[in-house]
Amino acid sequence: MNSKNDILFARAQASTPGGVNSPVRAFRSVGGTPRFITRAEGPHFWDADGKRYIDYIGSWGPAIVGHAHPDVIRAVQEAATHGLSFGAPTEAEILMAEEICRLLPSVEQVRLVSSGTEAAMSALRLARGATRRDKIVKFEGCYHGHADSLLVKAGSGLLTFGNPTSAGVPEDFARHTLVLDYNEPQQLEEVFRTMGDQIACVIVEPVAGNMNLVRATPEFLQTMRRVCSEHGAVLIFDEVMSGFRVGLGCAQGLYGITPDLTVLGKVIGGGMPVAAFGGRKDLMQHLAPLGPVYQAGTLSGNPVAVAAGMATMKLVQQPGFYENLGAQTNKLAEGLTAAAREAGVPFCADAVGGMFGLYFADSIPASYKAMMATDKDRFNRFFHAMLDLGVYLAPSAFEAGFVSAAHSDAVIAETVSAARQAFTRL
């Protein structure tokens, strides 16, 4: 118990369930003591013992321009001097809405909220209210936040804990959620053939990042678009993670598919609580105060949070931003793969934009089932070896990783060199 992290974790557990405010931070999946972070800058953060890590979670995605970017910090400081929250509209909210609508052609109108959970929950209610249908379709391994209807065999933290559903979700709610396999277009055809007139919406991560990284096949998303249109169901792309992470046009831009509604979060807040849902104007007009679908938020569009988001959104639009981010992420994936090959460890990696997946398997998994078959124990040993060597990966075999614009060649090289050592320790 010499480590300040141990001392803080013991204290935290006395006042907070499990010592953390979000489950995956607790290291339950990998074992050991979570690191308590004191500060962050660029690609690094420091724990309570003063140890420095190269950070590959980036606050689970938002830190795309690197931690504590001067432009973002300045924007927050300036906004804060004008007051923290008004409960009345501001021009900054218009600018953010206009920016999102300009960058995403599928989004004609948008509403700002404070978390991805809230945005996904609201998009579902809107889809149900607009179609007057109750059933929703989701896919095993996708995570859309912790609203009741969505905690039905949900992924990520839940997967890690081996709980297929959460206690406290009434079976009557779960009954309306159909859970299909990711990347299985025939299942979509089948379910729409049998009950298409009852389905309000399909919600999907178009690049899945909550069961580790899994790319959707184009056929899967195209089939989804077609059956939703044929049966009057709303197609919701949950781009909370992939949005402005895989490219400026988000996953919908990469695949060339137009969803009816899009859910955003993480990057658009630049590290502050901003999320959003938006899409077709005729759908969005069902929302209060115009329509009968209720949705509200005391801190929605908070001026300080929006300032951080807008400063981040400005930086990602600099010429070459995503080309550079993608190149660095690919260098990391290729470097780790080569290091594993040298050590004779079955391993592969994948990258889309600034997101990556690491798999202790012979080939890149394309399904939830294949992901579950990867070597979790080996991942856990690798995780701890890397942590020792000053590289902080996601503390679970079933989470994606994130690279920022501050991850320079030197930082990637340092990571790959640590991995060479870590792979030989497995």
Ligand X SMILES: *Cc1c(COP(=O)(O)O)cnc(C)c1O
Taking the least distance from each CB to ligand X, the nearer of 275 and 311 is: 275
Residue whose tokens read 């060649």: 409
Identify the active-site residue in 238, 255, 260, 392.
Answer: 238
* Residue 157 Cβ vs ligand X, minimum distance, rounded to whole Å: 10
Six-digit token pair at 34? 């979570």
Please identify, using beta-carbon distances, which residue of 211 and 422 lies nearer to ligand X: 211
The first and second tokens of residue 374, run together, are 């990867």
Q: Which is nearer to ligand X, 144 or 384 (CB)?
A: 144
Enumerate binding residues for ligand X (CB under 6 A). 115-117, 120, 143-145, 205, 209-210, 238, 240-241, 265, 275
| CA pair distance 44, 53, nearest whole angstrom | 5
In angstroms, what is the minimal distance from the CB of 408 to ligand X? Answer: 26
Burial class (CB in 10 A: 0-12, 13-18, 19+), 81: exposed
Q: Please report how close the Cβ of residue 241 comes to ligand X at its closest, in angstroms.
A: 3
Catalytic residue among 53, 143, 322, 392: 143
Least separation in angstroms between CB 149 and ligand X: 13
Query: Please, which residues have CB within 8 angstroms of residue 417's CB and are 6 or more apart in sequence?
Result: none
Known catalytic residue at 266: yes
Helix (H, G, I), strand (E, B) or coil at 262: strand
Residue 320 beta carbon to ligand X: minimum distance, rounded to whole angstroms: 26
| Nearby residues of 381 by Cβ (< 8 Å), 6 or more positions away | 425, 426
Asked if 118 and 145 touch (Cβ cutoff 8 Å), the reply is: yes
Pull the structure tokens for residue 63. 């830190």
Q: Which of 135, 138, 153, 266 is catalytic?
A: 266
In the bound complex, which residue of the shown chain has the CB atom lying closest to ligand X? 116
* CB-based contacts of 270, cutoff 8 Å, min separation 6: 62, 64, 65, 72, 308, 309, 311, 312, 313
> Percentages helix, strand, coil for the chain, rounded to the nearest 5?
45, 15, 40
Q: Are 361 and 373 in contact (CB under 8 A)?
A: yes
Residue with smaller CB distance to ligand X, 116 or 129:
116
CA distance 96 to 299: 15
**154/349 with CB nearer ligand X:** 154
Instruction: Name the phi and psi angles at 202, rounded to 5.
Output: -115, 130
CA dist 425 and 195 (Å) reads 52
Q: How many CA atoms lie within 13 A of 85 on its CB side?
A: 10
**265/335 with CB nearer ligand X:** 265
Min dist. Cβ of residue 121 to ligand X (A): 9
Active site amino acids: 143, 238, 266
